[in-house]
Chain A
Amino acid sequence: MERTTIKRWFLHKENGMKGLKEKSIKTILFLSAISAVIVIFSIIVFLLKDGYSIFGTAGIWEFLSGTRWNPTGEPPVYGAFSLIVGTLLVTIGAMVIAIPLSLGGAIFISEIATPRMRAIIKPAIELLAGIPSVVYGFFGLIVLTTWLRISFNQPSGESWLAGSILLGIMAIPTITSVAEDALSSVPREYKEGSLALGATRWQTIRSVIVPSALSGITAAVILGIGRAIGETMAVMMVCGNPTYGLIPMPITNIFAPLKTLTATLGIEMGEVATGSNHYHALFGLALLLLVITLVVNIIATLILGRLREKHQSSLKKRVRLPHEISKKIKQSFYLFMGIIIIWILIISTGVIPAVGIVALAVAVYYLMKKISAKTMQYIAFSMITLAILLVIIILCIILSYIIVNGAGAIITPGFLTEGISNLGRSGGIFPAIIGTLYLVIGAIAIALPLGVGAAIYLNEYTREGKITKIIRTGADLLNGTPSIVFGLFGFAFFVLYLKMGFSLLAGQITLAFMILPTIIRTTEEALKSVPQSLREGSLALGATKWQTIRKVVLPPAAPGVLTGAILGIGRAAGETAPIMFTAVVFSSFIPQSVFEPVNALPYHLFILATSIPGSKQNQAGTALVLLLLVIGIYLIAILLRNRYRKTMKW
């Protein structure tokens, strides 16, 4: 009798200890899970804290609708409208370039390419997503703007067109890979059914596959738009930045210089007097930028969410308008779009060419109707192949320019091991390489535990519900936050509020926040791929929840987690905007503690390309080192993931 009581007591005690351990682990995981929410919340709070006063000083309506941005004038004028228009125009131009090319690319990869081609092209496109924006900017500044100026006989090549081309190229990998996922997830039966009915492959693609994947494609485009709106470095380097902001006259003048929200922040933040109205106005702009990108990303998330629902339950039927009415709506919509296009044509080219173009378009339209299905397929496939070829050619030009010009610097003895001399014109880039390594190591050391903890909590400890929804939304929003906004937040919070100054630590934490959502997402994917039966087996053997996670779930998920970490490292290594106002200085010293500033490769390249005349060779050399570093990191991640996908069989 007594013995059993004691035994029970011990058991109870043991259970209690275990329970306590389990509970505290759960609490820790919960805390790391809500970190994403806390971060996005504090970003908003700090932007509001430093930015709201400008809405009082300038008036919220004047701030949003004023077309003149002149914060240092007398009297100062804070009108962000032309900056908003600039951001929108560059983004629209980028989409005009990126959407056809990336849709062509996506259709090519998922429907036309042979398996072997797909195995090469798909990872290649994913690799391109890793090219740092400052490298694109460097190419744009040196090659693209000069080419535009000479071939179009313009006074200057720094223009809307240059920005749109560059942003378009940058958005292609994002849009292509998301759209390709959507196309590949269309059920096989749809395609087989259509082909069995006698439709050609192109007819199947056009009328069955693309419409079924439409919401996924829309989400891809919106994600691309989000990326383009938030892009800083490339836009800042090639758009010309007219000082007060400029709405092109006429609006179709693609050679007009433009100033975007992000470029204004990037240019003016470095030298602004802290606490002045100008400073608050810049935070107001950042707030505006954050709101725009958040709205765009929320729309994308909603569409993707609906897509998932649709896949799960196809029973719900959409309410449809009667055929007649929807046809009428369609017709009037086309008419309206047609009138707008003709109006734009008349404004930009004059009446006679516009009429010519319209006549040609009508002729082409009727010609198209006469073409047989097979010829149509031939034409469509050649256009698609042309699109993917064009993407590959553009990227080859960029890469080969950097490699050809950078190789000379890299093979110079001492370039990789010596300090900077003569303001970076000669000497090496060793301090920048070390600085980048320090930043990246610190960022991953902070982000990895938080991200993995958050993913474990989301995937293992809770059911889908309100809390997970809030956390997921937080991570999604954080993922869509423009990198320059992280930079401003880091400046306001770490550098000023916590008085860290320009320091390694401030940069590391800012970068960690930026890569946190990537790590959460990839870790969650890895955890999800571990079968439920393994967990049940472990729990049935008497293991506690944490023991199960640590010994059973995490080991097979480790390669996936590692992939996420490597992707995070790649992103952190290439970003400039978040560290520009928090950690980096252009100088040749190597920090001895985390409270000292550093130099970093992307920032070094930015300064060389924009501020140091006569540093051509070292610019290209730095770009090449950065490119090799980031692409190398991404390559490891992709190879690891592919290997892991192959070897994991349950």
Chain B
Amino acid sequence: MSKIRRGVKQRTSRTLITGILVIFVFSIILLSGCLQRQEGLPIVVIGRDSASGTREFFWQHVMGKENFTDNLREKNSNGGIYITVTQTPGAIGYVGLSFVDTGVKVLKINNITANATNILSGEYPIARYLYFFTKGNATGATKEFIDYIQSTEGQAVVQEEGFVPLPTSNPYNATGKHLSGTLTVSGSTTVFPIAEKAKDGFMKMYPELTITVSSTGSGAGITAVGQGTVEIGMSSRDLKSSESNLDLVKYTIASDGIAIIVNTQNTYVESLTLAQLKSIYKGEITNWNELQ
């Protein structure tokens, strides 16, 4: 009896070992295809989703309305691009200048650094305006809030948040004005921090007024203001032709540079020309070592 059992046990262990070996070899063969050493550093191209205002701008001004590479990976926010670039050594992405900090490396474009001075002077080539939209001309509290953001005080917030202020602005005058009720603002994720911060200063002057700001994306913000569910829609892009029938009035509140960011481990490049940037996003340049 015990002999038989021992025999069974031996055979079992033998088959088990064979089985494990087979599985092991199997998986190694399958994975060996993936483990081939790669030359240089393949580029992982990151961009925004097709409904994004930032992408629209990038596509018009960098790509010349040509198609991106099929491998462009979509993220639906500036922060998403930033996070992916910090986590992926070969990644390249574009974000609003305000999102940049030491966690990523900002590339120069045509050897020009992305900063407020170069954007205001028009030397930095990829910059755009940010807008507030209202249904018809702004009146009452809505108008005052827009005036405030366009004033010296509001533009200080713009600068504080990393955006580029308007070239000229006057101090805000609150004397003799009295505002109350509620005001709702929603829209672009890029513009959100400006409105959120400016609202604090504004509400201090008018304690009876309540402002709520929410970030839903440019398209949703424009839809909401068009329907009258909010008073102000924030947007990082201008109106599209399909939105022109909404009877919206545009207020420019700041400008924003688009920074081209790569991972801090990327030692291949410091500056790109616009043509090189376009080639990367078209998928013609696929490895960083082609740019050395």
Contacts and interface: CB of A to CB of B under 8 A. Distances in A.
Shortest 6 CB-CB distances between A and B: which pairs?
Answer: A585-B214, A501-B229, A611-B79, A271-B217, A271-B51, A611-B77
A228 to B, nearest CB: 21
A636 B143 CA distance: 52
B29 A349 contact: yes
A378 interface: yes
Interface in B13-64: 15-16, 18-19, 22, 25-26, 29-35, 37-38, 41-44, 47, 49-53, 55-56, 59
A14 B56 CA distance: 72
A423 interface: yes
Nearest to B26: A357
B213 interface: yes
A360 interface: yes
Contacts of A364: 18-19, 22
Nearest to A152: B34
Given A71-B50, A156-B73, A156-B91, A272 B79 contact: no
Interface stretch (B112-120, B134-142, B220-228, B267-275): B220-228
A244 B82 CA distance: 21
A400 interface: no
Given A278-B51, A502-B229, A585-B216, A243 B15 contact: no
B71 to A, nearest CB: 6
B212 interface: yes
A643 interface: no
Interface in B88-104: 88-91, 99, 103
Contacts of B47: 243
Given A273-B223, A360-B26, A156 B68 contact: no
A331 interface: no
B51 A272 contact: yes
Contacts of A613: 79, 82-83, 86, 99, 103
Interface residues of B, number: 80
B75 A610 contact: yes
Contact of A374 (B8, B32, B43, B212): B8
Nearest to B34: A152
A509 to B, nearest CB: 17
A529 interface: no
B70 interface: yes
Contacts of B224: 501-502
Interface string A255-288: 1010100000001111111111110000000000
A610 B12 contact: no
Given A155-B89, A372-B8, A587-B196, 13 more contacts: A145-B87, A156-B44, A158-B84, A241-B73, A259-B74, A273-B222, A357-B29, A501-B224, A502-B216, A587-B215, A610-B79, A611-B77, A611-B189
A255 B219 contact: no
Contacts of A614: 103
B79 A273 contact: no
A634 B162 CA distance: 45
A502 to B, nearest CB: 7
B243 interface: yes
